[in-house]
Amino acid sequence: MVNKDRGSRRSGAYARRKGSRFLLSGLACCARCGALLYGQSSGKHRLPSGKIRSPWDYYLCANRKNHQGCAMPRIGARALEQAVIAYLFERILTPENLAQQIAMFHETLDSERPVIEAQLIALQRDLTACAEAIERLLIAIETSAVSRTLTQRLQQREIEREDLTSRIQALQKQMTAPVEIIDVAVIRSELRVHLDDGDVAKARQFLSSFIDRIEVSPKTLRVQYKLPFE
């Protein structure tokens, strides 16, 4: 998963998710409204019947937490996490599923390849023109009095070059089919080690390497994952 916030400063929400003791923090979201699910604990409290209820960990929709109208109920953390892990081992991290997904990837790539190649040619042409423009601006700056206009134009061109380079790299990555060397046994074993070790942060980081999001409701569970695994 690519982190969109590459700055050195992180939001408080990001820091809380990173240090959370809940396995699915930052991954699980509400299937009803799309908001993230937050891990919380009820603490020990007395029920109306008079019985004392032990502390209970659960996931709560952020929109319900912030009183924004979502009716998504609380979902027990242990039950949800166990259901997700079972889903991964039984439905996703299997040789049959990955072989099927890779085959579908190849089919999609073959159909899109002509369009992507045309886009790459156009972007490469734009990148060459941009590099030549930067070279001309540098020569102009070196051989004449530096003006604010020239400097600003150079900065704009450099930003344009970075953007073009990034777009080209993204398309090139898209053109690279996942090779059939994904060792399911190794992935399953590594995930099991992280879970058994009890290091929630490492287990969550491993999950985020191939899971984009987990859509959750009381009766449904949908895992969106990516190929190739990072």
The CB-side HSE value for 36 (13 A sphere, CA atoms) comes to 13
pLDDT at 132: 95
Gap between the Cα atoms of 148 and 76, Å rounded: 60
Gap between the Cα atoms of 88 and 94, Å rounded: 8
- Amino acid making up residue 227: L
| 79-110 burial: b if 16+ Cβ within 10 Å, else e | ebbeebbeebeeebbeeeebeebbeeeeeeee
Q: Is the pLDDT at 40 greater than 70, yes or no?
A: yes
Stretch (H or E) spanning 164: helix 148-175
Q: 119 or 209, which is more confident?
A: 119
Q: Is the pLDDT at 196 greater than 70, yes or no?
A: yes
Enumerate the domain spans of the chain: 12-94+200-225, 101-175
Q: How many CB atoms lie within 10 A of CB 14?
A: 13
Residue 114 burial (C-beta neighbours within 10 Å; 0-12, 13-18, 19+): exposed
Q: Which contacts (CB < 8 Å, 24+ apart) does range 145-154 have?
A: none
pLDDT grade for 229, boundaries at 50, 70 and 90: low
- CB within 8 Å of 201: residues ≥ 6 apart: 18, 19
Instruction: Supply the pTM of this predicted model.
Output: 0.60
Mean pLDDT over all residues of the chain? 82
Q: Which contacts (CB < 8 Å, 24+ apart) does range 51-58 have?
A: 57/22
Percentage of the chain exceeding pLDDT 90 = 41
